[in-house]
Structure 1
Amino acid sequence: MTSVLPASCASDPMTPGSILKWKNIQRIPPRDKLIFQQDNACPHTAKVTKEYLEEVKLNVLPWPAMSPDLNPIEHVWQQLKKWLYQQRYTINNKAQLIAAINRFWATFPKESVQALMKSMPRRLQAVRVAKEGHTKY
């Protein structure tokens, strides 16, 4: 799948309807081919989240506790933060911040997203080798 999850969906808590909102926007592969990934942040491990993911029967990738930055999106967030820091003198309110984030997403290279996605097997192999301990990710 080459589409990207919209920021408005990514910022929603994992509650009933948030995945459905994404589904209405994107073409989601069949559930048996979809692997949902999220780190162990409290909203992701909350009882309501776990119950909802079980209810909608999503295949959730187990996430090792020692690899909070394993998810490739963490590297995108790092680049976004760096870019926003460079823009700090032009951002004075929430509307300008939202506009700046939208500019970042509009110009973020699709090739970078694809490279990060393709790095997942390598990242998971590093976790296996480290027996779920620390990795460079």
Structure 2
Amino acid sequence: MHDNCPVHTANIVRRWIEDQPQLEVLPWPSHSPDLNPIENVWANIVNVWEPEEERTRQQLLNHMMREWEVLRRKPQIIHTHVTSLSDRLRDVIANNGQWTKY
């Protein structure tokens, strides 16, 4: 399962998936909320990124690794993302599958 983000629907990705007969891509609404808690973890990492100062591939990698370690020392952040899933699902159902505050 993946959402309809342009990264996931790029020609190269679609061709790769087509070449994997063991994979079945589930239908997914175009404007569906992302319920995967890892997306919130990535948001934590991106939200403290300073694009004007961290521009090279190595700087971005260093940033990601540094922030990942910060999150590892704060397991309550990950726990909150995971335990909020039932609230997220409830909101998605109430919103008929559309975006929510999450």
TM-score range, shorter chain: 0.5 to 0.7
If the length of structure 2 is used for normalisation, what is the TM-score? 0.64
* Cα RMSD after superposing both structures: 3.1
Give the Å deviation of 1:116.
0.6
Residues 1:131 and 2:99 aligned together? no
Please give the secondary structure, in 2, of the residue aligned with 1:55: coil
Q: Are the aligned partners of 2:33 and 2:99 in contact in 1 as well (CA < 8 Å)? A: no
Q: Are the aligned partners of 1:127 and 1:133 in contact in 2 as well (CA < 8 Å)? A: yes
2:58 corresponds in structure 1 to 95
If the length of structure 1 is used for normalisation, what is the TM-score? 0.51
Please give the secondary structure, in 1, of the residue aligned with 2:101: coil
Runs of 5+ in structure 1 lacking a partner?
1-36
Report the count of equivalent residues: 96
Of all paired residues, the percent bearing the same amino acid is 29
Higher relative contact order (CA 8 A, sep 6+): 2
> d(CA) in 2 for partners of 1:122 and 1:50?
35
Cα deviation 1:7-26 (Å, max 9, x = unaligned): xxxxxxxxxxxxxxxxxxxx
